[in-house]
Structure 1
Amino acid sequence: MQQYTVNRVIFLGVVAIIGIVGMQTYWVATTWNLNDTEFRQKAQLALYGVARQLAAANNSDLPSQDIVRQRSSNYFLVNIESEIQSVRLEELMQKELVSLGLDVPFEYSIFDCGSNCMVYGARCEPTTEPASGEASSASTFPIDEDLLYYFSVKFPERTGYLWEKMQVVFFFTAVLLLTVTFFIFSMIVILRQRRLAGMQKDFIDNMTHEFKTPLSTIRIAAGVFQRDERISADARLSRYATLIYEQYERLNNQVEKVLQISRIEKGNFEIEKEQVDLKELLPPLLSGITLRAGERGGKLISHLPEGSLMVDADPVHLSNILHNLLDNAVKYGGDNPQITIGGRRKNGQLHLYVADKGPGISKEHQDRLFEKFYRVPTGDVHDVKGFGLGLFYVFQICKAHGWTIRVESEEGKGATFHIQMPLLAVKKQTVAVDAVM
Structure 2
Amino acid sequence: MHERILRRVVVLGTLAILGIVGMQTYWVATTWNLNDTEFSQKAQLALYGVARQLAAENYASLPKRDIVRQRSSNYFIVNTESEIDAQRLEYLMQQELQRLNLNVDFEYAIFDCSTNEMAYGGYCYADPDRRPIAATAGNLPPDENLLYYFGVKFPTRIGYIWQKMQLVVFLSVILLLTVAFFAYSLLVILRQRRLATMQKEFIDNMTHEFKTPLSTIRIAAAVLSRDERVARDARLSRYARLIHEQYERLNGQVEKVLQIASIEKGDFRIQRERIDLQELLPPLLSSARARTEERDGHLTWQLPDRPLPLYADPLHLTNILYNLLDNAVKYGGPAPRIAVVGRVAHDHLHLAVSDNGPGIAEEHQERLFEKFYRVPTGDVHDVKGFGLGLYYVHQICRAHRWDIRVESRPGRGTTLHLRLPLSTSSEAVPA
Q: Write out aligned runs for 1:287-302 (5 A).
A: 287-302=286-301
Q: Is this contact kept in 2: 1:361–1:409, CA < 8 A? A: yes
- Alignment partner of 1:353: what SS? strand
Distance 2:252 2:130 in 1: 92
Give yes or no for the alignment of 1:125 onto 2:125.
yes
Out of 322-331 and 126-135, give the one that drifted further. 126-135
Counterparts in 2 of 1:107 and 1:145: CA distance versus 1, 3 Å: same
1:116 match: 116
- Alignment partner of 2:71: what SS? strand
Identity of aligned residues (%): 66
Q: Write out aligned runs for 1:180-195 (5 A).
A: 180-195=179-194
1:88 match: 88
Q: Write out aligned runs for 1:240-279 (5 A).
A: 240-279=239-278
Q: Is this contact kept in 2: 1:122–1:130, CA < 8 A? A: no
Q: Is this contact kept in 2: 1:52–1:62, CA < 8 A? A: yes
Q: Write out aligned runs for 1:17-416 (5 A).
A: 17-128=17-128, 133-138=133-138, 140-416=139-415
Counterparts in 2 of 1:220 and 1:132: CA distance versus 1, 3 Å: closer
Q: Is this contact kept in 1: 2:125–2:132, CA < 8 A? A: no
Q: Is this contact kept in 2: 1:303–1:342, CA < 8 A? A: yes
The answer for unaligned runs of 5 or more in structure 1 is: 428-437
Q: Is this contact kept in 2: 1:98–1:127, CA < 8 A? A: no
Name segments (4+ residues, structure 1) moved above 6 Å.
Answer: none
CA deviation vs aligned residue, 1:72-125 (integer Å, no higher than 9, x gap): 000011122222222121112112212222111100111222222211111002
Out of 200-209 and 58-67, give the one that drifted further. 58-67
Amino acid in the other structure paired with 1:383: D
Deviation at 1:132, TM superposition (A): 5.8
- Alignment partner of 2:120: what SS? strand
Deviation at 1:285, TM superposition (A): 0.6
Counterparts in 2 of 1:129 and 1:241: CA distance versus 1, 3 Å: closer
Out of 322-331 and 49-58, give the one that drifted further. 49-58
Deviation at 1:411, TM superposition (A): 1.5
Distance 2:56 2:407 in 1: 89
Amino acid in the other structure paired with 2:109: S
Q: Is this contact kept in 2: 1:122–1:132, CA < 8 A? A: no
CA deviation vs aligned residue, 1:379-431 (integer Å, no higher than 9, x gap): 1111110001111101110111111211121211222111222111257xxxx
The answer for unaligned runs of 5 or more in structure 2 is: 427-431
Distance 1:207 1:130 in 2: 77
Q: Is this contact kept in 1: 2:408–2:415, CA < 8 A? A: yes
Deviation at 1:212, TM superposition (A): 1.1
Amino acid in the other structure paired with 1:143: P
1:435 match: none
Amino acid in the other structure paired with 2:176: L
Distance 1:126 1:277 in 2: 93
Deviation at 1:258, TM superposition (A): 0.8
CA deviation vs aligned residue, 1:329-383 (integer Å, no higher than 9, x gap): 1111111211121222222222222121211111111111111111111111111
- Alignment partner of 2:260: what SS? helix
Q: Is this contact kept in 2: 1:81–1:150, CA < 8 A? A: yes
Distance 2:159 2:166 in 1: 11
TM-score (norm 1): 0.93
CA-based RMSD of the aligned residues comes to 1.8
Counterparts in 2 of 1:194 and 1:133: CA distance versus 1, 3 Å: closer
CA deviation vs aligned residue, 1:269-306 (integer Å, no higher than 9, x gap): 21000111111110011011111111112211213222
- Alignment partner of 1:72: what SS? coil
Counterparts in 2 of 1:123 and 1:295: CA distance versus 1, 3 Å: same
- Alignment partner of 1:421: what SS? strand
Amino acid in the other structure paired with 1:223: A
TM-score (norm 2): 0.94
Deviation at 1:232, TM superposition (A): 2.1
Distance 1:134 1:34 in 2: 34
2:429 match: none
Deviation at 1:130, TM superposition (A): 9.5
Q: Is this contact kept in 1: 2:300–2:339, CA < 8 A? A: yes
Q: Is this contact kept in 2: 1:297–1:337, CA < 8 A? A: yes
Counterparts in 2 of 1:179 and 1:169: CA distance versus 1, 3 Å: same
1:430 match: none
1:10 match: 10
CA deviation vs aligned residue, 1:195-236 (integer Å, no higher than 9, x gap): 222222222211111111111121122122223332222221
Out of 128-137 and 265-274, give the one that drifted further. 128-137
Deviation at 1:26, TM superposition (A): 0.9
